[in-house]
């Protein structure tokens, strides 16, 4: 299944409630695990997924270095969200 929020309503705080509904529904259906995929450039999405308890699965030799860089970008993204004037 592919699911995304279309560009027009992006940035309006819909992703967190949508993820909550999806994760709760999966639990109701008896699922104990789930996986998702995204592009490494989707920092805000990756940040949300990590907050929901998802973790990266390393399949390639370069993945750990890539995730280290993504972690830095997430830290910067969070900093900018807390202090938009910086």
**What residues does each domain of the chain span?**
25-82
Helix or strand run (H / E) with residue 48: helix 43-51
Predicted confidence (pLDDT) per residue in 28-80, tens digit: 999 999 888 887 778 888 888 889 999 887 676 667 778 888 888 888 888 87
Cβ-contact 42, 11 below 8 angstroms: no
Cα torsion 25, 6, 15, 75: sign: positive
Alpha-carbon span 73 to 35, nearest angstrom: 22
pTM of the model: 0.66
71, two tokens: 């972690």
44, two tokens: 């805000």
């Amino acid at each position: 299944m592919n699911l995304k929020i279309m560009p027009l309503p992006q940035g309006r705080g819909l992703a967190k409630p949508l993820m909550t509904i999806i994760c709760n529904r999966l639990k109701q259906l008896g699922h104990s695990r789930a996986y998702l995929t995204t592009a490494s450039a989707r920092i805000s999405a990756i940040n949300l997924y990590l907050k929901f308890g998802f973790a990266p699965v390393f399949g390639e030799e370069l993945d750990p270095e890539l995730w280290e860089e993504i972690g830095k970008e997430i830290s910067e993204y969070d900093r900018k969200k807390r202090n938009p004037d910086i």
